[in-house]
Amino acid sequence: MASVFEYAPAPESRAVVDIAPSYGLFIDGEFAEAADGKVFKTVSPSSEEVLSEVARAGSEDVDRAVKAARRAFEKWSALPGRERAKYLFRIARIIQERSRELAVLETLDNGKPIRETRDADLPLVAAHFFYYAGWADKLEHAGLGPNPRPLGVAGQVIPWNFPLLMLAWKIAPALAAGNTVVLKPAETTPLSALFFADICRQAGLPRGVVNILPGYGDAGAALVEHPGIDKVAFTGSTAVGKAIARQVAGTDKKVTLELGGKGANIVFDDAPLDQAVEGIIGGIFFNQGQVCCAGSRLLVQESIQDELLDSLKRRLSTLRLGDPLDKNTDIGAINSEEQLARITSLVEQGEAEGAERWSPACALPSSGYWFAPTLFTNVTQAHTIARDEIFGPVLSVLTFRTPDEAVAKANNSQYGLSAGIWTEKGSRILAVANRLRAGVVWANTFNKFDPTSPFGGYKESGYGREGGRHGLEAYLAPTSPEGAR
Amino acid sequence: MPTNAPAALSDVTASDGALRRFLHGLPGVDAVGLEARAASLGTRSIKTSAKAYAIDLAISMIDLTTLEGADTPGKVRALAAKAVNPDPTDRTTPHTAAVCVYPDMVATAKAALNGADVKVASVATAFPAGRAALDVKLADTRDAVAAGADEIDMVIDRGAFLAGKYLKVYEEILAVKEASGSARLKVIFETGELSTYDNIRRASWLGMLAGADFIKTSTGKVAVNATPANTLLMLEAVRDFREQTGVQVGVKPAGGIRTSKDAIKFLVLVNETAGADWLDSHWFRFGASSLLNDLLMQRQKLATGRYSGPDYVTVD
């Protein structure tokens, strides 16, 4: 008689992180209240517990922060690259030393499992700072001419899905290139950015080089509009990205936009099936599917559809949903009530349009924001759930018959951020990858990130690249007029 | 052509060509993805009640093994006594699944066990290299069975497998299965010598088609023995085989599993790959010797809250 192997709760200790009851804005090296005294609460999405009360930046605060960054720019950009590198290396090492604390914090504020913050987010954050620290004294080798110059003050607005990692993607290359920054974290996940502000102080970073302004969309808009910034970097929804593009049109601000996606994960009949199943799971359920490059469309060759779906359903049934701090949790909470409502409405639309919905038996916790892992079959290109970004743990399964059809369907999207190809045939990988209009194409894997690799999209997924040598281009001007700045 | 293949797959062993086409038609294995999955399952955190359950289960799944040129009746008797009663200070400790010895020690082991509910497994077929004529291998097997072996751990002819002579390997397993009579047959692939994951998947299906009761990773005599990745792959194979044929086959990783932490990781692989049906000593075994003492020390630690140390478990 076989017994059942029940995993006892294995929660990571909350004691490693000390969250203050309130936090200010971080401007010019100091924490300060908002000029108008406004605050907002940040809650833990898995329990709806209020974690802290955070100052809410307004346009006056934006102005103060941009001015502080401008003042700091002169000295910071004049430092030799190897001196800037020292600060970045120091920040990277402090992040590693405090990685457990930051992982627990991120899990509390975002709702994602500790397994992911511990094994993915935090190692990547540190790696990003290490990587760009290495560039700081080698900018003349970045392919932008002999003496590339920083742009000035960068206004950066980041999303809630990878709060600290998106901060690293924005801040590390900006500082390495000699820019100063004003960064606005998302309103649902301000805490790790504020802890990062503390790390900047711990590293002795000169005041004003990094300014952190927690707040809502109004603060982000004020930042983008501010005449004192030279560069806008945004990661978030396509709608806001379009608004930003309109806002900065006609100004001399440089812009990079990292927007939505509807990634196609293409599985051919000669794929390594067990690993493809893992890749599909990782592609759509990593971070509860709240990933811009998620593989949210599965394109499976019709001849292996049944076999693959059986395996996929069996594997879905083993996913462990629950307390994000439990080290054995695979699926955590949805980041906010608002996001949960959006996912729910799109899923209902998928059902109403005739797609077939399936989820494993899965008890959801009574408090917090939760959505069971879900897959849809009988989906066609015409369904809303095959076109719109859901940004949740929902997979749409479509089929194809030939490589040509796979490529046509994969490219038939307003987005073009990511794609995956699963086949044991190397020549097919190369042939298909060349025809996909996606910024990142993974072969026999998915959602693999590395600071050396550029990341960005085609079409409505945005423009500009982050990561790698290409990521420096967003923060450097190849030439500058004699004597400028 | 004799066959042990289940009806659903009887045609694939009809000829060398058919067998090759079938084995080479199995889905490929992506090494990076397989190892990443095994590593990811290795991060499961097994604590308190789950750990107690896993430790007892692991003890009950051990084939307590001695396969040395220096084995003597005294050594084998000590091993048998330990298998029956692993922790003399705590009689609630489960016994191991089996003792595993060379054929000439089977009678000694059988007598020492004296009717206890511990099986005697014997390696056979010119273990560990398997480099002998078929009739020598069969004689080796019959000898072990005649001496009372409940289980036979055979090795496949890796040379034939690597040369692509799958039917030869298949027929040899068939012949050994027949010679084993009612003894359960474990088929050792020596995965470290097959080298690629594609080969391990093919060997797993070949063994199961030939009627293996267990598929087993290794002899413990080469550099690379059981690993989480090769065991995960074999667990996928038995899972898929049962799905297609309805026949359940056991898995035995052997060699290199020395700590409780390692053993628990393997049990997590079983639980989340093949499933709970395999969480039983009838379907999953560890080929190990030093593992048992580590499990006993961890078991004592859970019971008392203190680490005891190597002087509080028996040497054998």
Structural domains of chain A in order of their starting residue, each with its CATH number: 14-259+461-477 (3.40.605.10), 264-451 (3.40.309.10)
The one-character DSSP state at B284 is: B
B25-64 pLDDT tens trace? 999 999 999 999 999 999 999 999 999 999 999 999 999 9
Categorize the per-residue pLDDT at B8 as very low, low, confident or very high, splitting at 50, 70 and 90: confident
Mean pLDDT of B246-275: 98
A398 phi and psi angles, rounded to 5 deg: -125, 165
B97-106 pLDDT tens trace? 999 999 999 9
Q: What is the pLDDT of residue A300?
A: 98
The alpha carbon of residue A6 is apart from the nearest alpha carbon of chain B, in Å, by: 6
Q: What is the pLDDT of residue B2?
A: 55
Mutation to test the B interface, candidates A115, A275, A326, A329, most B Cβ within 10 Å:
A275
A292 flagged as catalytic: yes
CB pairs under 8 A between A and B: 82
DSSP assignment of B221-275: -SSS---HHHHHHHHHHHHHHHHHHS---EEE-BSS--SHHHHHHHHHHHHHHT-
The tokens of A478 are what?
């190849």
Q: What is the pLDDT of residue A1?
A: 43
Q: Find, among B148, B204, B216, B137, the residue nearest to B177 by Cα.
A: B137
- Which of chain B's residues have a Cβ under 8 Å away from the Cβ of A445? 30, 32-33
Mutation to test the B interface, candidates A5, A6, A306, most B Cβ within 10 Å:
A5
- Which of chain A's residues have a Cβ under 8 Å away from the Cβ of B46? 7-8, 10
Between CA B119 and CA B62 the distance in angstroms is 11
The one-character DSSP state at B190 is: -
The tokens of B94 are what?
């489960």
A26-70 pLDDT tens trace? 999 999 999 999 999 999 999 999 999 999 999 999 999 999 999
- Secondary-structure percent of chain B, ordered helix, strand, coil, rounded to 5: 50, 10, 35
Categorize the per-residue pLDDT at B315 as very low, low, confident or very high, splitting at 50, 70 and 90: confident
Q: Find, among A267, A273, A295, A297, the residue nearest to A282 by Cα.
A: A295
Residues of chain A with pLDDT below 50 are 1-2, 484-485
The tokens of B111 are what?
């007598």
A362 flagged as catalytic: no
Q: What is the pLDDT of residue A485?
A: 45
Q: Say yes or no to pLDDT of B5 above 90.
A: no
- Which of chain A's residues have a Cβ under 8 Å away from the Cβ of B51? 8
Give the domains, in start order, of chain B with CATH numbers: 18-304 (3.20.20.70)
Q: Using CB atoms, which residue from A119, A271, A274 is nearest to B43?
A: A119
Categorize the per-residue pLDDT at B1 as very low, low, confident or very high, splitting at 50, 70 and 90: very low
B145-183 pLDDT tens trace? 999 999 999 999 999 999 999 999 999 999 999 999 999
The alpha carbon of residue B273 is apart from the nearest alpha carbon of chain A, in Å, by: 8
Which residues of A touch chain B, with CB atoms under 8 Å apart? 1-10, 115, 119, 270-275, 278-279, 318, 327-328, 424, 444-445
Are A370 and A334 contacting, i.e. CB atoms less than 8 angstroms apart? yes
- Which of chain B's residues have a Cβ under 8 Å away from the Cβ of A7? 44-46, 50
The tokens of B62 are what?
């051990």
The one-character DSSP state at A11 is: B
B191-215 pLDDT tens trace? 999 999 999 999 999 999 999 999 9
The answer to whether B29 faces chain A, any CB pair under 8 Å, is yes
- Which of chain B's residues have a Cβ under 8 Å away from the Cβ of A117? none
Predicted model pTM: 0.96
Are A321 and A330 contacting, i.e. CB atoms less than 8 angstroms apart? yes
Between CA B6 and CA B247 the distance in angstroms is 8
Tokens 């049109």 belong to A249
